[in-house]
Amino acid sequence: MPTWWGKKSSKPKEHEEPRGGSSTSNGSSGGGGGVLHFNFSNKSPIRNSNKNGYKPENPRSFDDASSNFRNTPRSSRDFSPSINSAGGGSSSCWDSDAGYKTGFPLPHPSVSSTQSLSNDQGITFGFGSASVSGSSVSSNGSYDDPSTSNSQINTARGQCETKFNVRPKSPGPGSRGPTSPTSPLHPRLNVLSLDSPTSRQEDGRSECHPLPLPPGSPTSSSSLPNNTRPNGLIESSTTNRGSWKRGKLLGRGTFGHVYLGFNSESGQLCAIKEVRAVCDDQTSKECLKQLNQEIILLSKLSHPNIVQYYGSDLGEETLSVYLEYVSGGSIHKLLQEYGAFKEPVIQNYTRQIVSGLSYLHARNTVHRDIKGANILVDPNGEIKLADFGMAKHINSSSSMLSFKGSPHWMAPEVVMNTNGYSLPVDIWSLGCTILEMATSKPPWSQYEGVAAIFKIGNSKDMPEIPDHLSNDAKNFIKLCLHRDPSTRPTAQMLLNHPFIRDQSATKAAIVRITRDAFPYMCDGSRTPPASDLHSNRTCIASQDADYATKSVLAASRAVRSPRDNTRMITSLPVSPCSSPLRQSGPAHKSCFLSPPHPTYAMMGQNTLTSYESYPMRSNTKFTLDPWHETHMYKVRTPGASPRTRLI
């Protein structure tokens, strides 16, 4: 029995969390902010109303109007049995992470400005040099951040000031580098601090988030570790923030709105996530806190499969976060529009998700809300983990207890909530996400939220795994869905699983053959001659890809001139499946638009049959039946103590 269930009747109190964000809508699609709340006195979850009146991005099968629970992919929220009367109805006020969290105190204003906006909550946003500090509540780890020493940080007695650029109305020019947290070019640029929800360290001190540098700054976070990113746009820009204009609404989440950003000087695009910064109610505070948490974590990360953070900007009324723009939408959205994915696509996406998770987990950061709706896809099929509002850095002595996540993707240890949980919760959710990709529904979608939670927590049942999946895929999913978190493989281990491991080799072969089929690049240069076509074909054919190979060869023969070739290329639709050209070095430079290349047919058919021959570690192998091999997966957290100690 989950501990939270035992507590439920002791403090009967209904919690209603208001939704964040403004009510503006321009008709763009977006997720509805389904928020699940538990009323532990009557055991029924209460669904809060959608104040904005928009229709949630929500598969019908998850949404039962008769239920109090809206099982939406956007309904990832915090659930906690511990009722905190202080602070009203903030979901995160119930966060019991690390066992001490009882609520986020309101930030206390510390105003040093000549002009300020103050409200009755005591939250002040200044036009001069205002700052607000408050107690922070959770760990932020110990990343090295080059700009930390130069940021305006006030660390004392658990208080943390996180500084943001402040722009009164429109984006200002922004910082010029780590040593200039406020722009000398912007007369009204100031700093504001917010209490950081993730900045309390183990010793009670706070590590604060440095001033995020603006997109386009030569020394911005985006240009430092990330200047080799494929699009290379913002990284190389010297355009300042004042040139960024807010465009159409891309989507909504529970905590804010996401807009397209356009830089009128450079033509660059980004996504601007906004929440109201006027803390006139608990919702706004919660939104700010959540976005602040996202900023803190994202600003430390740089990986091709994690949405890149560019900077943040505090205006009169909004906190804006500049993010890499991922135009393809979420996996959830693609599933809604196009139905379940074929296995090669699942393989490809899974490999990238695992790659992102591996990077994240190596930094002892747990995402806690992995699901299709929080995974974005760019037009080339490149995956970007997004929505780090629930992510948390963990250290060796901390474990998490809060009931956070999205019900159908939630790991048993989160539901049971007895000994805490750690990084393996993301692996469980990964397994659920693979099932989501394969079926367009999460596991146990036939159950309503609470029933699903019981199924996850109180039964030994496994979710149905579609028969049509390959054995590799089934094996992979089963490993992710080990109920005992200590026997779940790590993300790093999963990268060696045959379901995803051999894609790069296969892709390399595909790229070679594709280059021969489409020899001309946009710049007029020619790919290497087709002299080794035969050997490539042999290679592919030996992997049961005759159909694919023949298709490519036929295409190759059909190519008569660069012009014909270009026509053929540009007429190809953008595929949700990653282009092999995109991911294999020099071929990036081609103008291929992620062709739904027939050779992809082979990628799920990688008929390597002997499971015995896939060592994951020197003494660890995947076997056909992972359930008999659980002892092999006594997992150690990368770079940390064994998981069992974390939990």
Write each residue from 423 to 462 as x if it is in contact with ligand ATP (CB under 6 A), else as -, in one continuous string: ----------------------------------------
233, 258, 360, 545: residue in contact with ligand ATP (rule CB under 6 A): 258
502-507 contacts at long range (C-beta below 8 A, 24 or more positions apart): 502/606, 502/608, 503/347, 503/348, 503/351, 503/603, 506/543, 506/602, 506/603, 506/606, 507/580, 507/583, 507/584, 507/603
**Which C-beta is closer to ligand ATP: that of 373 or that of 521?**
373
Q: Report the C-alpha gap between 638 and 600 in whole angstroms.
A: 33
Task: Tell me 49's DSSP state.
Answer: P
Could you report how far apart the first and last alpha carbons of the chain are, in Å? 17
449 to 70, 196, 478, 480: CA distances (angstroms): 8, 31, 22, 21
At its nearest, how many Å lie between ligand ATP and the CB of residue 78?
A: 11
d(CA 571, CA 592): 10
DSSP 169: S
Please tell me whether residue 18 binds ligand ATP under the rule CB under 6 A: no
Assess whether 95 carries a catalytic annotation.
Answer: no
Q: By three-state DSSP, how is residue 110 classified?
A: strand
- Name the segment binding ligand ATP (CB under 6 A); options: 4-12, 323-331, 430-438, 631-639: 323-331
Residue 32 CB, nearest approach to ligand ATP (Å): 8
Cβ(204)–Cβ(111) below 8 Å: no
Instruction: Choose one: 118-126, 370-378, 416-424, 634-642; the region binding ligand ATP (CB under 6 A).
Output: 370-378
Region 158-197 residues binding ligand ATP, contact defined as CB under 6 A: none
Contact pick of 123, 191, 296, 326 for ligand ATP (by CB under 6 A): 326
Cβ-closest residue to ligand ATP? Answer: 253
Work out whether 234 is an interface residue with ligand ATP (CB under 6 A). Answer: no
255 touches ligand ATP (CB under 6 A)? yes
Does the footprint of ligand ATP cover residue 324 (CB under 6 A)? Answer: yes
What's the min distance (Å) between Cβ of 385 and ligand ATP?
11
Q: Distance between CA atoms of 303 and 225, rounded to whole angstroms?
A: 9
Residue 203 one-letter amino acid: D
> Considering 369, 378, 472, 516, which one is annotated as catalytic?
369
Nearer to ligand ATP, 34 or 626 (CB): 34
Size of the site for ligand ATP (CB under 6 A): 27
Work out whether 256 is an interface residue with ligand ATP (CB under 6 A): yes
How far is Cα 104 from Cα 85, in angstroms, rounded to an integer? 11
- Of 252, 289, 482, 643, the one binding ligand ATP (CB under 6 A) is 252
Q: Are 353 and 409 in contact (CB under 8 A)?
A: no
3-class SS of residue 421:
strand
Task: Determine the Cα–Cα distance for residues 503 and 94; give it in Å rounded to an integer.
Answer: 43
What is the residue whose two structure tokens read 């006027």?
Answer: 278
Sign of the CA dihedral with 626 first, then 627, 632, and 637 last = positive
Residue 401 Ramachandran class (φ > 0 left, ψ -120 to 50 alpha, else beta): alpha
Residue 273 assigned ligand-binding role:
yes
Which lies closer to ligand ATP via its Cβ, residue 93 or residue 258?
258
Q: Is 296 near ligand ATP (CB under 6 A)?
A: no
Segment lying near ligand ATP (by CB under 6 A), choices 180-188, 239-247, 383-391, 583-591: 383-391
- Which tokens sit at 333? 């959205």
**Residue in 2, 18, 30, 103 binding ligand ATP, rule: CB under 6 A:** 30
Stretch that binds ligand ATP, among 26-34, 314-322, 427-435, 474-482 (CB under 6 A): 26-34
Nearer to ligand ATP, 324 or 448 (CB): 324
**Distance in Å, CB of 285 to ligand ATP, minimum:** 15
- Distances from the Cα of 292 to the Cα of 162, 322, 500, angstroms: 8, 13, 34
Q: Binder to ligand ATP among 329, 344, 420, 626 (CB under 6 A)?
A: 329
* Selected range binding ligand ATP among 208-216, 385-393, 418-426, 502-510, rule: CB under 6 A: 385-393
| Inter-residue contact 358 to 350 (CB < 8 Å) | no
* Residues contributing to the annotated binding site for ATP: 273
Which residues would be at the binding site for ligand ATP (CB under 6 A)?
30-31, 33, 74, 76, 250-256, 258, 271, 307, 323-326, 329-330, 373-374, 376, 386-387, 389
Q: Which residues are catalytic?
A: 369
